Copies of this chain bind each other. A is one copy, B any other.
């Protein structure tokens, strides 16, 4: 990581990001649940990023990155490979700035995801599902357009943007004992660490990760980045590996990675639906699942949890009514 890049991963950068995205992003509420407090034995404060624009915290980082571009660069447009929440976030941020966005997406991506990204006005360029073909097509698009690639997490502007969620949370709930955020590539957790550890050093910050994609846990345990694990989890937002940049930030600052099983994630997700009446995707329930597994550790504590996203495939629930 260059000195220049590292210098951007600061509380100051998070504060600048907060100002930059304020006209566009929602200041999301903090939700409570007496029922989940009782079940967990802790005081829980849910940062409702499923209510963020595009339904996920990803809009914060994408918006900060897109609005950080200088005029000349931005005019050539932004390119991304993600067909998930980051892709939608880039598409919306570019529309808001009035610049072109191109999303490179496998032809096999669900029609509903293609439609969502197209609705935000992004150009979709097809590729094959294999990573080398995605990279080949992305490189071609970058060359043709002269545009800039915004990585979903390995980018200090993205990390600073994601950190604004924790910045808000710590202002909304000043006396937290701990914060738990899901970890995948580590952008959200890195931003959370930067904001929390500089603003309120007493607050413990944990990542939460499914056992089926536990590369962050393994990397911190081994003291080196582990990238050869094959992800198998229902948490489709949590299958990426840490980058050198996010591994560095987590190594220096994170108080631990909490693990959880897919069944526990589903049970936590169901609790959030039933008790809070909120729609979250599996990745959004990982922090609660991890906390419930380690009830003793958090007993009596005031804990912030990031409900990271709410973009769920609802087909199972909304099958046509039988005989209706």
Contacts and interface: CB of A to CB of B under 8 A. Distances in A.
Contacts of A51: 277
B263 A324 contact: yes
Given A270-B317, A277-B279, 16 more contacts: A234-B324, A263-B321, A263-B324, A266-B320, A266-B321, A266-B324, A269-B318, A270-B314, A273-B314, A273-B317, A274-B279, A277-B278, A277-B280, A278-B279, A316-B319, A317-B317
A263 to B, nearest CB: 7
Contacts of A233: 324
Given A270-B314, A314-B270, A316-B316, A321 B234 contact: yes
Nearest 5 interchain pairs by C-beta: A277-B310, A277-B279, A262-B324, A317-B317, A270-B318
A55 interface: yes
A282 B269 CA distance: 20
Interface in A227-267: 233-234, 262-263, 266
Contacts of A270: 314, 317-318
Interface of A: 50-51, 55, 233-234, 262-263, 266, 269-270, 273-274, 277-280, 310, 312, 314, 316-321, 324
A262 B320 CA distance: 10
A96 to B, nearest CB: 13
Q: How many copies of this chain does one complex carry?
A: 2
A270 B319 CA distance: 10
19 contacts: A50-B277, A55-B277, A233-B324, A262-B324, A263-B320, A263-B321, A266-B318, A266-B320, A266-B324, A270-B314, A270-B317, A273-B317, A274-B314, A278-B278, A279-B279, A314-B317, A316-B316, A316-B319, A317-B317
A274 to B, nearest CB: 6
Contact of A262 (B262, B314, B318, B321): B321
Contacts of A316: 316-317, 319
A279 B279 CA distance: 6
Contacts of A234: 321, 324
A178 B296 CA distance: 50
Nearest to A274: B314
Nearest to A262: B324
Contacts of A266: 318, 320-321, 324
Contacts of A278: 277-279
Nearest to A278: B277
A316 B319 CA distance: 9
A23 to B, nearest CB: 14
A112 to B, nearest CB: 10
